[in-house]
C-alpha cells in the first residue's frame, strides 16, 4: 500500500507539471515497458516462488536458471522495444523514453522479490517494492520540472530497478546464502512450466495496457494522457484484487483436493463477501470518478472521468470473476484460465478502435468493461463445467438489486449537483445493504460495540474455518 501511495504521488505530480500531452507521451512509452517487462518475467516469478516453497534446497540452482532465462528474454524484449522506437514515427520525446526504457529492461532479471516470496519473507518483498518506488519518486520530484524533461521518468525507473535489485541481491546472500554467478544455466523445462502463467499475465496486460498503445496510434497524445491517468488509478486498485486471490489461492487448492463440500463453501462465502463489498465501492467509484480525476491530476484531466467510471465497473467484474479464474488455477485448470484471458484480450483489441470511433474516449473504457465481462463469462462457463460450481446467482441477486436501485436513484436526481447526488446514492445503497442483509447488520453491531477486538476475532475465526 505504501509503495502504491508513493508511486501515485509521483505520477500525480508528473501529470500536473508536464500537462496532458507530455503525460500522454509518458503513458504510451510506459505501456510499452510494462508489456516488455512481462516478456522478461514470463511467469518465472510466480513459478520460482512456488518451486522454492516446495523445495528450498533447490533454490540456488533455480535462481541461477531463472536469472539466466530472464536475461535472454530481456535481450529479446530490449530489441523489440528499440525496433518499436525506431521503426514507427514517434515524437522525439517518445523515442527518447522508449530507448531509455529499453536499457532499463536489462536490469529487470536481477529483481529477486520472488525469491523472498518463496521463502515466505513477505516483509522483505514489501521493503524491496518500497525501495524501488521511493527511488523512482525521488528522481521524478527532483528532476522533472517541465515537459521537455519527461525523459527523466525512464531514468527514474532504471534507478528504482537498480536500487531494488542491489538490495535484493544483498539480502538473498545474507539471509539464504544465495549468490548470483556469471555463468549460463539455461533450462527449457523451467520455461515450459512457467509459460501458461506468463501468457495469462501477458493477455491481461494486452487487454489493459495494450489499450494505451492502441490509443496512442489512433488518438491525440492528450487523450492518451487522460486515459493513461485513469488507468493508473485502476491498476493501483486492481493490485488489491490480485493480492486477495493470491492469499486465497492456497486455501482453494487445499479444499479442492479434499473432494468434499469445503471448496464450494469457501467459494460461496468469498463470493458473498466480495459481492457486498463491490456494491458500495463500485457505486462510489462510478459516481465520484470525475471528482477523483480532478483531485488527483488537476482540472485539465477532467476528461478522463468517463474512462475511470467505466473502469470502476470493470473493477467490480474483475473482483467477482477472480473466483472462477483462481478456482480453475487451484484445480489445476490453468490452461482454461489462460484461454479466458485470451478471449478478453482479443475482444478488447477488436472493440477499442470501434467504440473509440463511436463514443470517443469513453468508448475505450466501455470496451475494457465489456472485455472483462467476457472473461467473467468464459471463466464462469468453464468453472461450471469442470468444477461443478453452483449457486452463484442466489448470492449475487440482492447485490444486483442494490446496483439497480443505485441506477434508478442516480437518474431520478439529474437536477442535483454531482457531489450531492453521489452522497444520496451512496447513502441509499448503504441503507439497502443494512436492510436486506441480516449478516451485515449483525456484523455492523458487533464491530460498533468493540471495533478492534471484534475485527481481530472475526478475521482469526474466518481464517481458521477456511484454513487460510
What's phi and psi for 181, nearest 5 deg? -115, 145
- For 231-270, give one letter per residue: b (16+ CB within 10 A) or e: bbbbbbbbeebeebbeebeebbbbbbeeeeebbbebbbeb
* 440 vs 242 pLDDT, higher one: 242
How confident is the model at residue 157, as a pLDDT? 95
Q: Give residue 143's pLDDT.
A: 93
Question: 3-state SS of 36-87?
Answer: HHHHHHCCHHHHHHHHHHHCHHHHHHHHHHHHHHHHHHHHHHHHHHHHHHHH
- Choice between 355 and 204, residue whose per-residue pLDDT is larger: 355
| pTM beyond 0.75 | no
| pLDDT over 50 (residue 65) | yes
pLDDT tens digits for 200-251? 777 877 777 778 878 888 888 888 889 988 988 898 888 888 878 877 776 7
pLDDT of residue 10: 93
pLDDT for 284: 92
**Mean local confidence (pLDDT), 380-392:** 84
Ramachandran angles phi, psi of 387, nearest 5°: -105, -5
Mean pLDDT of 50-64: 81
pLDDT single digits (tens) 274-323: 999 999 999 999 999 999 999 888 888 898 999 999 999 999 999 999 99
Q: Three-state DSSP class for 417?
A: coil
Mean pLDDT of 252-263: 81
Does residue 146 come out as left (phi exceeding 0), alpha (psi in the -120 to 50 range) or beta? beta
d(CA 297, CA 4): 16
> Which residues make Cβ contacts (< 8 Å) with residue 117, sequence separation at least 6?
45, 49, 125
Q: If you average pLDDT over every residue of the chain, what do you get?
A: 85
d(C-alpha 271, C-alpha 49), whole Å: 27
Q: Quick count: other Cβ atoms within 10 Å of Cβ 445?
A: 10
Q: What average pLDDT score do residues 141-165 get?
A: 94
pLDDT, tens only, 174-202: 988 887 776 666 666 676 766 776 677 77
Q: CB-based contacts of 58: which residues, under 8 Å, 6+ apart?
A: 51, 52
As a whole number of angstroms, the distance between CA 417 and CA 422 comes to: 9
Amino acid at each position: 500500500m505504501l509503495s502504491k501511495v508513493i508511486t501515485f504521488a509521483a505520477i500525480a505530480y508528473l501529470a500536473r507539471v508536464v500537462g496532458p500531452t507530455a503525460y500522454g507521451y509518458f503513458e504510451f512509452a510506459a505501456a510499452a515497458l510494462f508489456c516488455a517487462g512481462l516478456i522478461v518475467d514470463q511467469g518465472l516469478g510466480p513459478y520460482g516462488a512456488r518451486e522454492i516453497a516446495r523445495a528450498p534446497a533447490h533454490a540456488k540452482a533455480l535462481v541461477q536458471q531463472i536469472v539466466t532465462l530472464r536475461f535472454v528474454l530481456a535481450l529479446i524484449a530490449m530489441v523489440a522495444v528499440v525496433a518499436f522506437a525506431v521503426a514507427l514515427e514517434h515524437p522525439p520525446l517518445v523515442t527518447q523514453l522508449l530507448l531509455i526504457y529499453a536499457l532499463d529492461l536489462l536490469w529487470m532479471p536481477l529483481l529477486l522479490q520472488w525469491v523472498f516470496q518463496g521463502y515466505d519473507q513477505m516483509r522483505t518483498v514489501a521493503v524491496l517494492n518500497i525501495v524501488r518506488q521511493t527511488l523512482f519518486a525521488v528522481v521524478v520530484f527532483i528532476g522533472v520540472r517541465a515537459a521537455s524533461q519527461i525523459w527523466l521518468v525512464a531514468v527514474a525507473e532504471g534507478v528504482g530497478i537498480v536500487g531494488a535489485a542491489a538490495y535484493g541481491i544483498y539480502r538473498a546472500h545474507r539471509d539464504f546464502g544465495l549468490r548470483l554467478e556469471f555463468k549460463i544455466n539455461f533450462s527449457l523445462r523451467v520455461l515450459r512450466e512457467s509459460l501458461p502463467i506468463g501468457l495469462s499475465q501477458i493477455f491481461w496486460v494486452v487487454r489493459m495496457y495494450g489499450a494505451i498503445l492502441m490509443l496512442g496510434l489512433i488518438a491525440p497524445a492528450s487523450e492518451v494522457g487522460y486515459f493513461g491517468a485513469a488507468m493508473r488509478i485502476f491498476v493501483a486498485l486492481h493490485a488489491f484484487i490480485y493480492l486477495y486471490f493470491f492469499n486465497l489461492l492456497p486455501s482453494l487448492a487445499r479444499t479442492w483436493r479434499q473432494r468434499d463440500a469445503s471448496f464450494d463453501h469457501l467459494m460461496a462465502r468469498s463470493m458473498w463477501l466480495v459481492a457486498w463489498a463491490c456494491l458500495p465501492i463500485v457505486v462510489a467509484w462510478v459516481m465520484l470518478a470525475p471528482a477523483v480525476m480532478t483531485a488527483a491530476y488537476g482540472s485539465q484531466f477532467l476528461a478522463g472521468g468517463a474512462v475511470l467510471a467505466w473502469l470502476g465497473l470493470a473493477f467490480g467484474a474483475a473482483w467477482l470473476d477472480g473466483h472462477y479464474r483462481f478456482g480453475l488455477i487451484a484445480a489445476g485448470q490453468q490452461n482454461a484460465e489462460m484461454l479466458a484471458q485470451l478471449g478478453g484480450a482479443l475482444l478488447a483489441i477488436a472493440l477499442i478502435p470501434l467504440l473509440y470511433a463511436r463514443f470517443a474516449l469513453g468508448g475505450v473504457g466501455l470496451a475494457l468493461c465489456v472485455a472483462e465481462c467476457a472473461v467473467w463469462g468464459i471463466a464462469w462457463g468453464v468453472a461450471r463445467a469442470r468444477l461443478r460450481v453452483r449457486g452463484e446467482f442466489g448470492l449475487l441477486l440482492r447485490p444486483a438489486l442494490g446496483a439497480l436501485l443505485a441506477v434508478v436513484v442516480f437518474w431520478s436526481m439529474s437536477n442535483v449537483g454531482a457531489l450531492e447526488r453521489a452522497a444520496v446514492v451512496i447513502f441509499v445503497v448503504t441503507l439497502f445493504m443494512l436492510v436486506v442483509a441480516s449478516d451485515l447488520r449483525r456484523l455492523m453491531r458487533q464491530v460498533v460495540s468493540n471495533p478492534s477486538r471484534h475485527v481481530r476475532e472475526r478475521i482469526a475465526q474466518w481464517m481458521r474455518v477456511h484454513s487460510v
